[in-house]
Structure 1
């Protein structure tokens, strides 16, 4: 099983340092979340900067809120990032659940699933060269696409349009979600198996309090969910190793260790744990 690193949003100017450290370490992927009405860096722009600061590690949106974006431009941006990074880009997508993001972009949250399905059909056409919108991505057919999801209709989208699953659920829920994704994949007649990527929140040593505060602020609109998410954050090497074993046993291909504290030393601490 591979390991990835989720990047913090609290100090964007430090992210090139995070990326270079990760590029020299055991991590396969760098992930970055997406919001509109929040004090976070825009992920496609940021990952383009980090692509230029690295040579090996992959870049991944985790997840980009696709219904908030126009599909032709999004397809062009994703293809450009994939091309300029030498095929190191993964487009992780979700629908977005915060009303303020949809209000800011003028999109109807009640139609977000339908919008995403239509976007994926259009973007696959663009990446195939059918609409004359370039550049061609480095990855044939377009960059790898993963979907973050919980509900069955969203999990079925993985089989229709995607290459794999981004699972942000705790380990005790992940097994059922993995099984559903694999069943929907088989039912759709897809060959092989979907790529399974899990995510846990982490902070080691000095960053724990800062990270919990950041989680509570980011997920504050969810009430108890925010508190539970902060409490579930992994704060010791032993917890990280235990979670890694659990997800490996479930068949995860990669575990993203999402950092909420801003100290770049987290990269080295986590590298020591997973090496």
Structure 2
């Protein structure tokens, strides 16, 4: 049966002018009490302003005991990997090994390009920075002396016989899941990373696209059974279908600032009653997704409880 996670509404709270974190931590505690398996926080510096994910997850780690804690998704290209390695290692120690590092390369849209410019990071080099940066993080997470670059590495960062401390609670560091809608992203997951974390495939396309991840892992000499097939799902659950659809459209328009119908083409979402939401989520589980992360379009207390009932009804 799939594990089920919940995305905390950091973006929504900032849009509402509610920068305090108490309500977010309360939602994390409520989700744990309802049996959610994981808690997630999104990332953006300026394009979609919100709380810093690693700092907030440290507070969530101190207030919870069981759920895994993840980023959905962090943009590592915006960060120096030596600094990031130390931050994530510290977070994983606070969480006692519950961290999942969800990462992505960022969408090619004007406000995200501007965010990279503000951070003095070349947008067109973001894929290479992600791959090399995470390799450097993993090297540092061993706790052994690291000299970088390695032979064959582009060498964007220079490290000389240096040791990182602390190391993560989980030996080798937290699992790294990669978002991505294109074939090249799925191949990167199979070759280098620990999970696939998309938000774009239809349920009917999920299995064949996951098969590409598996094939890439096998070709790289890796065991695909060690990889996680995840899915990021957005839901607006309401017995009135039109009301659910309207709420979803308003939510996406406010969240991204673009036509919600365009967003819905790229990010798969559901609007409608609970029974149909159950069938929609089950379709992804049946297609092979083993970890579903849920983002709710408003009314988080009600949605948390409704989704928990759906899960019980499905026997998850």
Q: Same fold (TM over 0.5)?
A: yes
Cα-to-partner distance string for 1:47-71 (whole Å, 9 max, x where unaligned): 1111111111111101101101110
Q: Which runs of 5+ in 2 are unaligned?
A: 14-18, 145-161
SS in 2 for 1:91: strand
| SS of residue paired to 2:4 | strand
**In the TM superposition, what whole-angstrom CA distance separates every residue of 1:180-208 from its partner, at most 9, and x where no partner exists?**
11111111110242210112101334995
- 1:158-177 Cα shifts (integer Å, max 9, x gaps): 12321111021232432332
Pick aligned residue for 2:36 from 15, 23, 27: 27
Flag structure 1 segments of 5+ consecutive residues without an equivalent: none
1:231, CA displacement in angstroms? Answer: 8.6
> What is the Cα deviation at residue 262 of structure 1?
4.8
Distance of 1:81 and 1:190 partners within structure 2: 28
Where does residue 196 of structure 1 map in the other structure?
229
1:171 to 179, 197, 203: 203
Aligned residues of 1:212 and 1:230 also touching (Cα < 8 A): no
Distance in 2, Cα, partners of 1:177 & 1:220: 29
User: Scaled by the length of structure 2, what TM-score is found?
Assistant: 0.81
Alignment match, 2:251:
214
- Conserved? CA contact 1:87–1:143, under 8 Å: yes
Which of 117, 123, 128 is matched with 2:131 structurally? 117
Matches within 5 A, 1:128-139: 128-130=142-144, 131-139=162-170
User: Does the 8 A contact of 2:236 with 2:248 survive in 1?
Assistant: yes
| Offset at residue 78 of structure 1 (A) | 0.8
Counterparts of 1:36 and 1:62, CA distance in 2:
14
Determine whether 1:257 maps to 2:298. Answer: no
Structure 2: distance between partners of 1:107 and 1:47: 25
Could you state the TM-score of these two structures normalised by the residue count of structure 1? 0.92
- Equivalent residues in 2 for 1:129-168, closer than 5 Å: 129-130=143-144, 131-168=162-199
For the 8 Å contact 1:196–1:251, the answer to whether it is kept is yes
Instruction: Count residues in correspondence.
Output: 275
Q: 1:5 to 1:231 in 2, by over 3 A?
A: closer
Q: Does 1:180 align with 2:247?
A: no
